[in-house]
Amino acid sequence: MEPVTDEASTRAFALLASCPSLSVERLRPALERAGSAAALLARIAAGSDDLSPAARRELAAVLPRADACCRWLAAGSGRYLLPFTDARYPAQLRECPAAPVALWLEGDAAALAACQVALVGSRQPTPSGREIAAQWAGTFVNHGLVVTSGFAVGIDAAAHRGALAAGGRTIAVCATGLDRCYPAAHADLAREIATAGALVSCFPPGALPRKPSFHRRNRLLAALAVATVVVEAADGSGSLITARYAQALERNVFAVPGSIRNPVARGCHALLRQGAGLAASAADVLAGFGLAPAARPARTTRAGREYGKYARPALKPRLDKAGEILLDALGFEPVDVDTLVTRTGLPAQAVSSMLLILELQGWVAPHAGRYCRLVPAASEGRAT
C-alpha cells in the first residue's frame, strides 16, 4: 500500500472520505473492482452501482467541497489525507468495524504508528482529576507512549498539555474538520499539538461540530489506542461511550476510582462494575498494557514552561494544627464551606480565611463553589 500522491487520487479519496455512510468495509470491494479511487468515481459517473444509493447521494452532495479540501491540503506543510490504502493508516484501525475511509491529519503522521494510550474524562473535572490526567500523561510519554485524547476542555486538554510538558507526543482526535479549531479557546494548544504530535479527524475540512460527529470521534479515539483510561466521568459522559467502544474492540479499559460522593466519579465506578481495570496509578495502566518500555528522561519544552497551572511544588509549607484539622475534614472530595464548618466546629470566617491560605500554599483548589484537596506529588503512584 502506497500513499496517495497524485491530484486525481487525492481528490477522489477526499470525496469518498466525505461520505458518512462509507467505511473501509463497504468501500473496499468497490475499490478493488475499479482499481483506484479515481477509476471508481469515473465508474459511478458512468452509471455503475458500485456504491449504495445512499452513498451516491452523499457523494453528489459533497462534490462542491472537493476543491476546498484540496486547497486545505496544499495550504500548509504537514497536512495529509491518509486513505486506508496508505501504509501510514493505522493497521489496528483498518480492521475495525466502520473504520473511516481516510484520516485527515496535521502534524507528524508517524505518531499514528506509535503505541497509544487514550486519556479521557469529564469536561468539568475536579482539580485533582485534571492533575491526574496531566501527570499520568507525562508518565506515559516518558515511557515511550503517545497520549491520545479528544481535544475537549477539561481532562482531555489536561492530558494533551501534560504530554507536551513532558516533551512527548500527543494526538488530538477532533470532531470537526481540521480547518477549524473546536473549542476555539484551544487554538494555541492545537498549534503545539501539530508541532509535537498530530491533529487527526475523520471529517473533511469544512465539517462543523455536530452531535453525531462526537460519537464518530469517540469511536476513532478508542480504535487508535491500545488502552483507554477514564480519569473522571459523570453519568452519561461521552468518555463512557469511548470506553464502551474500546471494550467492544477488546482493548484494555481502565477507570480511576473516586469518592462515592463525587458526581464525576460515578461513570468510572460504573465502568469498574462492568469489569474495567482499576487504575490507582499510572503504573497500573502500564502493567495492564503488558508492555515494559524503557523510561526516558523528561525534556523541558515551551509547553512545560507554561505548565504551572497543572503542576505544583512537591514541598509545601508545614501546616499548623488548625490547618491539619481543616485538611482532614476536607478529605478528597469537593466540599462546601458550610460542611467544613459543621465538620470542624470552626467559625465560617476562620474556615474561609484558612481555605484561602491553603489554596495559596497549594494544598486545596476551588471547584464549582466548593473546595478540593490536592494530592501531594510525592504520594502519587508513579511508574519508573
Return d(Cα 113, Cα 46) in angstroms, integer.
38
Question: pLDDT tens-digit profile of 52-61?
Answer: 888 889 898 8
Q: Report the SS3 class of residue 63.
A: helix
| Ramachandran angles phi, psi of 118, nearest 5° | -90, 130
pLDDT at 325 over 90: no
More confident residue, 251 or 381: 251
Per-residue confidence (pLDDT) for residue 4, from 0 to 100? 60
Per-residue confidence (pLDDT) for residue 120, from 0 to 100? 98
What is the mean pLDDT of the segment spanning 200-228? 95
Can you read off the three cell numbers belonging to residue 104?
A: 485527515
Can you read off the three cell numbers belonging to residue 77?
A: 506543510
Cβ–Cβ under 8 Å, residues 174 and 146: no
Fold of 109-309: Rossmann fold (3.40.50)
Ranges for all domains in the chain classified under CATH 1.10.10.10: 321-379
Among 134, 88, 118, CA closest to 219: 118
Return d(Cα 210, Cα 202) in angstroms, integer.
13
Per-residue confidence (pLDDT) for residue 316, from 0 to 100? 58
pTM: 0.81
Question: pLDDT tens-digit profile of 15-44?
Answer: 999 998 899 999 999 999 999 999 999 998
Return d(Cα 119, Cα 140) in angstroms, integer.
10
More confident residue, 326 or 294: 326
- Read off the pLDDT band of 370 (50, 70, 90): confident
Return d(Cα 232, Cα 88) in angstroms, integer.
32
Ranges for all domains in the chain classified under CATH 3.40.50.450: 109-309
% of the chain exceeding 70 in pLDDT? 88
pLDDT at 207 over 80: yes
Return d(Cα 85, Cα 90) in angstroms, integer.
10
| Ramachandran angles phi, psi of 286, nearest 5° | -60, -40
Among 307, 325, 322, CA closest to 377: 307
Cβ–Cβ under 8 Å, residues 143 and 383: yes
Question: pLDDT tens-digit profile of 75-88?
Answer: 988 999 999 999 99
Looking at domain 321-379, which of 3.10.310.10, 1.10.10.10, 3.40.50.2300, 1.20.1370.20 is its CATH number? Answer: 1.10.10.10
More confident residue, 333 or 193: 193
- Read off the pLDDT band of 288 (50, 70, 90): confident
Strand stretches in 131-197, DSSP E: 146-149, 170-173
Cβ–Cβ under 8 Å, residues 182 and 157: no
What is the mean pLDDT of the segment spanning 118-139? 94
Least confident of 2-6, 57-61, 66-70: 2-6
pLDDT at 295 over 60: no
